[in-house]
Amino acid sequence: MFFKSRLPAHWIYRPKQSDYGIDGEVEIVSSQGELAGQVFFVQLKGTDCDGVEDALTVRLKLSTVNYFRALPVPVLIVSFHARTARLFAVWFDRLERSLPKEGQQTVSVCMSESAELSDSRIDEMPREFDGIRQLKSKLDLPIGLVLKSETALISGMTLTEIASDLRSILSEGVVKLQKHGLITTHIGTQIVEVLVGVVGRRTIPTGELTGGDSSQFFAANLLTAVGLTLSSVGQKDHGARLISSAGRRGSLLNSFQYGFEAAFCLAADHRKSEALQLANDMISREGYVKAAQFMTLVPLLAGPSSSCQVLTTDLLDRIAREAERAGDPAFAASTQYNLGNSLQSAGNHRAAFHAYRKALRADRRYAKRSYFWRELGCSLFECGHFSIAGRCYERAMTLGDLNCLPLLADAHLWSGEYDRALDGFRAYLETSENPGSEWVLKAAFVRMVRDVVGAGKQKRDRQNALGLATPVEGVFPESQFQAAISADGLCGLAWFNQACSEVGRGNFSNAAKYFCAVALCQRGDLAAWCSAIGSAINSGRPDMAAHLMSAGYRACGEGFTRALFEFIRSQDEGFPKVLVIEKLGDMLASSPRE
């Protein structure tokens, strides 16, 4: 085989039966015959087309890409051009961060002719291997950082001055200036290049790191760039620590490109409090308010928590006022929009609605953005303005957001437009490959409501329904249920009392449907979700129970799992407790975060 013949004779090549794209295994052996556990996998491709360009493009299945990502061993992708007997090779880990995670079924890996597997390139492979293997594991601290420059002065600063200022702000102990190290920075008059092993590479215009003649300012920006590069190659903890410590001393995070990337880096490492402290430090600094806004996005990106919610909202409010004072309407609008999202996640939907309206008044371009109408619709829906929310969802769909279809159907349901809701849910279920459990349950629920109400449209009278649904001396006859539902088909109390009556009669099939109705009408009612699941299992409906578990978890979060565990423990011995717990575990493992 040609690839094997190009390797040093003392290296070991082991062919493998091709499985998920692995064709062989190479073990690097030193010229003294010593083994150091340097093993990498190889995927082999080839073409006999005339042009060498065909050999420079390799297609990979997305399943293969995901498999390579998960491997602890580096993978070398090799392409052979038969007409010229040339080999080209690239490390998969060098490409990994630019490859998609989902969507299309195949991806193209493009190489340049500089990727040819020459003798000098093969000589470099042990060093390249070590660099990749280091990045696949947690790096020992401090990581070696090498400063290089071919010019005596960089924007009036010497390399010695920059190195001195780097040492003064390296308090986190993540990196250390050394003559040899995993990280190398090439500082030029026009471009600064940051290299992390053979995998991470970032180029930044030198002017973006410079602020006046301050070498300390330059050093802080350089360290921030190193942190971003470390995070991009999988070293999120070390990268986030550098960003947190150096970002406040420089200006790099004040640009959209780097500020937004830094927010994702800190969110991936769950550094919410540090990001908010950064934001607080930056708000009062002249020209740093945009960087502050990026940092306030971290709790939203990482998942909101009550401990950060008040501070996040307060910071965004302060930033919005600063943006208005600065006379920057586009920036003020984006801050108001982010403030709306923060308020929405905190459950303050009325305040969120007003923030979204301010965003639209500050920047009319939001009227052409589908996501804006979706969020505005959600805030209106939660405030009980279902018809207006529906019009917002329709606007979002007109602008291309077809994912609003079940939300629109839900708005129709709560508006009492049962026929329109049913049509919407049906259309969603027919076109969705993996429909959400809440929408599967609601499609069945709206059919049941329409049948019980006896009409496809209803003017809901919630207060009257609640009065009619209250049992008299502990008795709740069928006629009272019908009267309450005739006033409001979404009266949770009426469905609850009817479900209890069905349990008393031993009719768990109906009880499951009615408890499900309660849970869908009162999404935070943990007892209703648990009772619906128990009734579904007792009536032999594991499919319904699975949908209820998924929808309940989405609606109530971890509180649902705790309540369900308690409910399961309280059941009689005949109840399949182990089976339900296993099913719940499977569901939690596969359930994506919102």
CA distance 445 to 439: 9
- Domain assignment present for residue 442? The answer is no
Do 499 and 536 share a domain, yes or no? yes
Edge-to-edge strands, sheet with 12-19: 12-19, 22-29, 35-47, 75-81, 86-91
pLDDT at 593: 43
| 107 and 153 co-located in one domain | no
Q: Which of 108, 135, 162 is the last residue of a domain?
A: 135
In sequence order, what are the residues at sequence separation of 6 or more whose Cβ sits closer than 8 angstroms to the Cβ of residue 583?
Answer: 542, 545, 546, 549
Strand segments, DSSP code E, in 82-154 are 86-91, 106-110, 143-149
Helix (H) or strand (E) holding 80: strand 75-81
Contact call for residues 194 and 207 (beta carbons, < 8 A): no
Verify that 518 and 532 share a domain, yes or no.
yes
Inside any domain, residue 412: no
**According to the model, what pLDDT value does residue 212 have?**
56
CATH of the domain at 485: 1.25.40.10
In a domain, residue 361? The reply is no
In a domain, 425, yes or no: no
- 177 forms beta bridges with 145
Q: Please check whether residues 149 and 117 belong to one and the same domain.
A: no
Write down the pLDDT at residue 594: 41
Judge if 76 and 198 occupy the same domain. Answer: no
Let me know whether 222 and 182 are in one domain. yes
Same domain, 503 and 545: yes
Phi, psi of 299 (to 5 degrees): -60, -35
For residue 371, which of 356, 383, 358, 388 has the smallest C-alpha distance?
356
Task: Quick: pLDDT tens for 241-300.
Answer: 899 888 888 888 888 888 888 888 888 888 888 888 888 888 877 778 888 888 888 887
149 and 125 within one domain: no
**Residue 49 counted as domain residue:** yes
Cα–Cα–Cα angle for 543, 547, 550, nearest 5°? 140
- The confidence score (pLDDT) of residue 32 equals 80
Helix pair angle (558-569, 542-556), 10° resolution:
140
In a domain, 360, yes or no: no
Residue with token string 């007109």: 398
Q: Per the domain annotation, does 125 fall within a domain?
A: yes
Residue 246 lies in a domain: yes
pLDDT for the residue numbered 346: 81
Domain boundary among 269, 301, 322: 269
**3-class SS at 18?**
strand
Q: Note if the bond before 142 is cis, omega within 30 degrees.
A: yes
From the CA atom positions of the chain, what is the Rg in Å?
Answer: 30
How many structural domains compose the chain?
3
In this structure, the answer to whether residues 493 and 583 fall within a common structural domain is yes
Examine the fold and report which residue of 120, 135, 150 is the final residue of a domain before the chain moves on: 135
**Three-state SS across 242-257?**
HHHHHHHHCCHHHCHH
> SS3 for 281-333, per residue?
HHHCCCCCHHHHHHHHCHHHHHCCCHHHHHHHHHHHHHHHHHHHHCCCHHHHH
d(CA 267, CA 272): 7
Same domain, 117 and 230: no
Q: Within this chain, do residues 142 and 115 fall inside the same structural domain, yes or no?
A: no
Q: Which residue has the tokens 């009257």?
A: 464
In the prediction, which pLDDT does 80 show?
87
Boundaries of domain holding 487: 460-590
In the chain, which stretches have pLDDT less than 50?
A: 102, 592-594
Question: What pTM was estimated for this model as a whole?
Answer: 0.67
> CA-CA distance, 540 to 588, in Å (whole number)?
22
Cα–Cα distance measured from residue 177 to residue 540, given in angstroms and rounded to the nearest whole number: 66
If asked whether residues 108 and 165 sit together in one domain, one would say: no
Tracing tokens 């070696």 back to the chain, one arrives at 144
